[in-house]
Structure 1
Amino acid sequence: MGQAGQWCRRALLSAGSERDALLLIGKSTLAATLAWMVSFYALDARSPAFAPFSAVLIMYVTVYQSVTQSLRYVGAVALGVTVQAALGFLAGPDLLTFVLVAAIALSIGRSRVLGVQGPQVATAAFFAFSTYSSATDDTTRITQLGQIVLLVLIGCAIGTAVNVTIAPPMRYRSAEYSVRTLARALHDLTADMHPALREGAPDADTTARWRERAALTGSLIDQARAGLNTAEESVHYNPRRLLRRHRNHLTFQGFETVLNALERTLYQLASLTRSLDQWQEEENDYHYRDFLDCYAAFLEAICGFARTLSTLDEAALPEQAERLAGLADDARARRREVAAEAEAQSLPLADSARPYGVLVVEATRLMEEVQHTSDTLHTWIEA
């Protein structure tokens, strides 16, 4: 009970997954109740549960999904009922007919057009077969089969209407959260790396931990992309998009460009950690302390850039873009120092057994992505 109370308080007092879940439960309850009232009281339907079931089934996280999935669901149900009706009236309600209905409905359900609603073809066909078998005459059978499709239409219409008119889900800020998530991952890893490199020689356990953490960012990238896709999708057919006209600094294309740059940056950082870890196994002594000091300063600059980007807020984007531009300039200066130090010490950059060449190359690539991110933000602000 204590945990349930904490969950409810979070849902009521602050925005987040708990509030989203509570809102979805409330809207689904309302849609199911309205659909039941129409089907049971107004239509006196034989199987009124089809309507509330349909209303809840298409209550998706975005209005776009509610609309598209409701159309697919209605189509799937109509196909299932049609298959059963055609075979039922031709062959009668016997076992062989059921086998044919099942085989055809399941085959149609594999169509890519229906997507996740494909299995509903067979489900509708089975319910329709049961209804057809229990009816006493052809007129009753036609009426009841048609009523199944009608109830599904009513449920989908009510569910979609409730989702559109009552606090339609707007996940625009998911795009910001996606960028923040990857920027935070970049910040956290570089924040661990630059102090250790400045001290001289991270041990094998440290480099192995860096490599493992860098490898785990792949799942974060997938989650960030899913968040961006949800945010973009939530705008379609959503009346709340009209309220965002005054906030148009960064479009979804801009968010995607920044996300792509962060993704490449994390992959490059993963390559860097692999090189350090593999080299650590072969050579335990860092001979070029000054170079590593310069590289630590460069990673520290990248860390500062990532820290600011991890607080991305479209409302404050102009000010943040200026700050990020200054941090990018600082990172560029540190990158030049890395290259100059490597040249001054005549480092064995071509030696694949040592990481210096990879460090210099990855510093250049990281700098390119940081600069690209900064330029993207400025471009979309000025557009």
Structure 2
Amino acid sequence: MKEQGNAEGSTEEKPEGHQPSWSTRVAQWWQRAWSYSGHERHTVLLIAKSALAATLSWFVAYDLMHAKSPAFAPFSAVLTMQATVYRSLVQSLRYVGAVVVGVAVQAALGLSAGPTLATFALVAVITLAVGRWAPLGSQGTQVSTAAFFAFSTYVSTSTNDTRLEQLQQIVLLVLVGCAIGAAVHILVVPPMRYRNAEYGIRSLAHTLRDLLGDMAPVLREGAPDEDSTAQWRRRADRTDTLISGARSSLRTAEESIHFNPRSRLPGHRGHTSFQGYAVVLEALVRTLYQMASLTRSLDRWHGEESGYEYLPFLRSYAGFLDALGKCAAVLADLDESRLPSQAKELCRLADEAQQQRQALAEEAVARGLPLTDPSQPYGELVVEATRLMEECNNCCDALRSWAED
């Protein structure tokens, strides 16, 4: 089924207006989850699979193993449920390693020094320090957590043999929970997030298209006022969060094919590389950085100097931004199933944008604008247009090469 929706972590601004009721929002959320594969459906599946893995782990730990601390198993099973199978396996290994280290430290100090307050303090210091070890990543805190639970189990028993047996059982329960969680994650609708890369590109392209669409009409009327240029500059400078989200979405897409049995199915076999997505994404990132530079140039100038007929130049610049906006609109609707036709359309629009860029450069020369005067913005604006055009051509080349692969 075709996936739709926005990239996870995207922060597109919503227009203000009438807010639907709570019940309406819930109904809409479930409608999206039922209708197509997107963030909502991923959330439902993750919750359902986590509940299944936790239930199976509890059954094994409590009913079959008769463990005294059965909660370790379902807790471990739920912890393995990550956005991708690859990430789940990596986090599971780190978690098991953290638990083993924590329990081992507690066992060594407990057997040698006894279950005293001083021993607990020493366990805390050592495990908290070990937990900062970089290879453990986000699971580093589990070293001290496991040690504290192990210490609690240790002091509740009377003999060393029983204590060792209980500590071993904690490690075994963690292994059981992780194994069940990983098995459920892999065998029950393993997550395929390759479309996340597509969503990341769309979110950046939407932002670029909207900014270009707002700037062009104002420039067509003449020099923009300070409020307009300040707003454009703020919007262009706030794209860092979107860029980080798009790159994260690309990484998630790349991870989703590793160790995933669904990646071998006919509908997913072509998704072994995301180089095309990466090239287009980085070209869009550079374009947004150039837009930030352009808005800063406009914000430093508001057409107050006299002696130059700059209005025709600004109208030509507006035409160039309109042409770029059409290119961004193609990427805002990027769909891998329509890639060849979209690549052809983007390259056609890029040629039109190149003609507009040449027209504005000729307009600047025809009007005698001081392109080499650093105190005037015209030369800088022409350079910014050239750089934006280069990145547009990079997007076109990347998309065309991607479609031909």
TM-score (norm 1): 0.96
1:170 Cα deviation (Å)? Answer: 1.1
Which residue in the other structure is 2:242 paired with? Answer: 220
Residues matched between the structures, number: 383
Equivalent position amino acid for 1:23 in 2 = L
Partner of 2:355: 333
Identity percentage of aligned residues: 59
Match of 1:155 in 2: 177
* Cα RMSD (Å): 1.8
1:30-58 deviation digits (Å, cap 9, x = unpaired): 00000000000110001000000100111
Whole-angstrom CA distance in 1 between matches of 2:40 and 2:26: 11
Following TM superposition, by how much is the alpha carbon of 1:195 offset from its aligned partner in structure 2, in angstroms? Answer: 1.5
Structure 1 residue matching 2:132: 3-state secondary structure: coil
After alignment, is 351-360 or 9-18 more displaced?
9-18
Structure 1 residue 13 displacement after superposition: 3.0
* Higher deviation after alignment, 332-341 or 263-272: 332-341
User: Do the aligned partners of residues 99 and 182 (structure 1) sit closer, same or farther apart at CA in structure 2, a change above 3 Å counting?
Assistant: same
**Structure 1 stretch 279-288 or stretch 307-316: which is displaced more?**
279-288
**Larger deviation, residues 134-143 vs 281-290:** 281-290
Mapped to 2, the partners of 1:308 and 1:250 lie a distance apart of: 24
**How has the CA–CA distance of structure 1 residues 284 and 74 changed in structure 2, closer, same or farther, with 3 Å as cutoff?**
farther
Candidates 332, 335, 355, aligned match of 1:313: 335
* Displacement after TM superposition at 1:9 (Å): 3.5
Q: Is 1:370 aligned to residue 392 of structure 2?
A: yes
Unaligned runs of 5+ in 1: none
> Deviations 1:293-343 (Å, cap 9, x if unpaired)?
211111111011001111000010011001111011111111111222222
2:10 paired residue number: none
Q: Is the 8 A contact 2:263 2:269 kept in 1?
A: no
Identify if the C-alpha distance between structure 1 residues 240 and 25 changes in structure 2 by more than 3 Å, giving closer, same or farther. same
The worse-fitting range, judged by mean Cα deviation, of 196-205 and 183-192 is: 196-205
Match of residue 8, structure 1, among 23, 30, 40: 30
339-348 or 48-57: which moved more?
A: 339-348
**For residue 259 of structure 1, what is the aligned residue in structure 2?**
281
Q: Would you say 1:183 and 2:194 are equivalent positions?
A: no
From 119, 123, 126, the counterpart of 2:145: 123
Q: 2:167 aligns with which of 132, 137, 145?
A: 145
Indicate the residue corresponding to 2:72 in structure 1.
50
Shift of 1:141: 0.9
Deviations 1:77-131 (A, max 9, x none): 0000000111111111111111111111111101001000001000111111111
The Cα offsets for residues 210-254 of structure 1, whole Å up to 9 and x where unpaired, read as 111111122211111111111111111111112366674894111
1:260-279 → structure 2 map (5 Å cutoff)? 260-279=282-301
* Mapped contact 2:131–2:141 kept (Cα < 8 A): yes
AA partner of residue 279 (structure 2) = T
Looking at structure 2, the residues matched to 22 and 267 of structure 1 have their Cα atoms a distance apart, in angstroms, of: 37
Instruction: Please name the residue that 1:26 is paired with.
Output: 48
Q: Please say if residues 250 and 314 of structure 1, whose CA atoms lie closer than 8 Å, have aligned partners that are also in contact.
A: no
Q: Which structure has greater helix proportion?
A: 1
1:349 corresponds to which letter in structure 2?
A: L
Distance in 2 of aligned mates of 1:164 and 1:203? 57
TM-score relative to the length of structure 2: 0.91
Q: Secondary structure at the match of 1:114?
A: helix
